Amino acid sequence: MDLDQLIKTDGLVAQTAKFAKEAHKDQKRLSGEPYFSHLLETAKALAGWGLDEKTVAAGFLHDTIEDTSVTLEDIKAKFGPEVGFLVDGVTKLGKLKYRGRESQAENIRKMILAMAEDLRVVFIKLADREHNMKTLSALPPVKQKRIALETTEIYAPLAYRLGMQQLSGELEDLAFPYLYPQEYRWLLENTKYRYEERVEYLKKIKPLVEKALNEAGIIPLFIDFRAKRYSSLYKKLKRYDMDIEKIHDLVAFRIIIKNIEDCYAAMGIVHKLWPPLPGRIKDYIAMPKPNGYRSLHTTVMCLGGQIVEFQIRTEEMHRESENGLAAHWAYEEAKTTKEYRERGASRARPQEIEWVNRLRTWQKEFGEDENFLNALKIDFFRDRIFAITPKGEVVDLPDGATPVDFAYQIHTAVGHECVAAKVNQKIVPLDYKLRSQDIVEIITQKNKKPSADWLKFVITAKAKYEISAAIKAKQGTFRRKERQTELKIIAEDRLGLLKDISSIISRSHINIANANSSLFGKGNFHQMKIRCETEDQEKISKVIMKIKSLKGIREIESRLI
């Protein structure tokens, strides 16, 4: 969709553009530009992604409620409820702030999706963020840091999962100089000429490759060079002792070919020209990366002894890896996050893959299906709510949770000493059902003991357990129990599975405190949580070994609780 064209007509987009220009007419960006420039760039990005007119229109209006005297009612009355809904959604997201706690990042990403209710709201937020990042230099340094951090930790990964790899990489690159100014300068000084040198070099070998391919009757659809982004180069350099000589894919040579057979043939031809380095041929077509990425990679000793990485794939694979699908994130994250390293696997967890799959389904429907807007409705967090502490931390709770559940989730002592709760600054009863985005403040009183009545309304296991324990302790009947170990098992559903598992556990003389099982994902998977009354990790690891040998077990992890 061409935005210039749309603005010239007197349709919805043109009307909102005019309206926004008028509403913000006395405002300037910190960069000195008229405020409207920001709105225009936001709308342009949305149009560029092929989004519908209402979304582009909402792009023009996205800052009106927050920054001008225009109200949501005005917008609804003038431009309809849907545009109003989108603008309202972006306004709400604007209030969410990430304060740099890594443990919170995933919750916030989920919360953004849950709050948005409609992916188009997220797209507008991303377009807004992209332009804000491009103009970040106009802001005071403290703000630059906060916004850059939020962009790297929240919005770039979010874009990645939505399959917007291009945007995600760009956001990372825009944030990088603000977060790592010294490292950025170092990279510029040490790599800039190398990039240029590399591209010049690859241009020289391009005709050689083309000629050899043509002689074999293979016509590449296109050949291009892909320069590694600074932000990802930096991550990789850290793993290679900052030795740039070891980075062979600084600029990769990419060949896009019509069909799979020809991909293999093309790799053979490249190897005939130049010898491959041992162990550097990767067939991600026969064995896709865990995230679904498909391509052939090979690294060869090229003209003049230079080492070059070739990536060979079909157009479909290329499109998938480039923009469409959320294919890369799980693997890339797997390589970098601590949690994964500790698990010692570069495999995404099933629930994350499931998340990607759902996004992938949308992406497919997106643009093809006439009703694609319905496919953008976010409903997979329907059974979760995200409540917020007065300090802005997000607490992930099951639907139906109460302030007491919230209190225990924060800390056992906060739960025990809870006497009252405020939700959005109003006192509510303790059995109040929380809703997403509620700001919850727990009022405590020193040495207060929990009430047995709470057991009638709390719904989280933690609250139930702690309340019962405290009551028993008060009655003098409670001895401090051993801690328990929770096993989380993901398995294909089959008859007798739970029985097989529980008999392994009881044969090891471990009592089961409780067990539950829920359907998981789209397939025939079940997630089981089994609490074992032991803190003996040696015993547990033997049990895990045995359970792993059962048929259909996909994943098992344990934690002390």
153 is catalytic: no
**Nearest distance from residue 132's CB to Mn ion, in Å?**
6
Q: Nearest approach, Cβ of 559 to Mn ion (angstroms)? A: 41
Q: Is 370 a catalytic residue?
A: no
State the binding string over 161-200 for Mn ion (x if CB under 5 A, else -). ----------------------------------------
Helix, strand or coil, per DSSP, at residue 32: coil
With beta carbons less than 8 A apart as the criterion, state whether 533 and 548 touch: no
CB neighbourhood size of 186 (10 A): 14
Residues 45-64 close enough to bind Mn ion by CB under 5 A = 63
Radius of gyration for the chain, computed over Cα atoms and rounded to the nearest angstrom: 28
Using the contact rule CB under 5 A, the part of the chain among 120-128, 160-168, 180-188, 289-297 near Mn ion is 120-128
Could you say which of 53, 67, 500, 535 is catalytic?
67
**Cα–Cα distance for residue pair 226/254, rounded to 1 Å:** 7
- Interface with Mn ion (CB under 5 A), residue from 128, 150, 153, 466: 128
For residue 489, how far is the Cα from the chain centroid?
23
By the 8 A CB rule, do 360 and 163 touch? yes
Active-site residue identified among 2, 22, 33, 66? 66
Q: Which is nearer to Mn ion, 65 or 356 (CB)?
A: 65
How many residues lie near Mn ion (CB under 5 A)?
2
CB of residue 525 to Mn ion, shortest distance in Å: 41
Q: How far is the CB of 151 from Mn ion (least distance, A)?
A: 13
- Cβ burial of 350 (10 Å; 0-12, 13-18, 19+) is middle
Q: How far is the CB of 445 from Mn ion (least distance, A)?
A: 43
Closest to 257 (Cα-Cα) out of 290, 295, 227 = 295
Closer of 45 and 401 to Mn ion (Cβ): 45
Planar angle of CA 367, 369, 370, nearest 5 degrees = 95
Give me the phi and psi of 71, to 5 degrees please.
-110, 165
Between 130 and 262, name the residue whose CB sits nearer to Mn ion.
Answer: 130
d(CA 32, CA 109): 32
Of the ranges 65-73, 96-104, 124-132, 149-157, which one interacts with Mn ion (CB under 5 A)? 124-132
Name which of 30 and 221 has its Cβ closer to Mn ion: 30
Q: How far is the CB of 91 from Mn ion (least distance, A)?
A: 10
User: Residue 40 or residue 528: which is nearer to Mn ion going by CB?
Assistant: 40
CA 123 – CA 120 distance, rounded (Å): 5
Cα–Cα dist 310/300, whole Å: 8
Measured between alpha carbons, how far is 497 from 31 in angstroms, rounded to an integer? 63
Does 150 help bind Mn ion (rule: CB under 5 A)?
no
Using an 8 Å Cβ cutoff, are 273 and 216 in contact?
Answer: no
Please, which residue, 35 or 432, has the CB nearer to Mn ion? 35
Stretch that binds Mn ion, among 122-130, 192-200, 309-317, 550-558 (CB under 5 A): 122-130
Strand arrangement, sheet containing 418-423 = 426-428, 418-423, 440-444
Residue nearest Mn ion, Cβ-based: 128
Stretch that binds Mn ion, among 125-133, 196-204, 248-256, 340-348 (CB under 5 A): 125-133
Residues in touch with Mn ion (CB under 5 A): 63, 128
| Active site residue ranges | 66-67
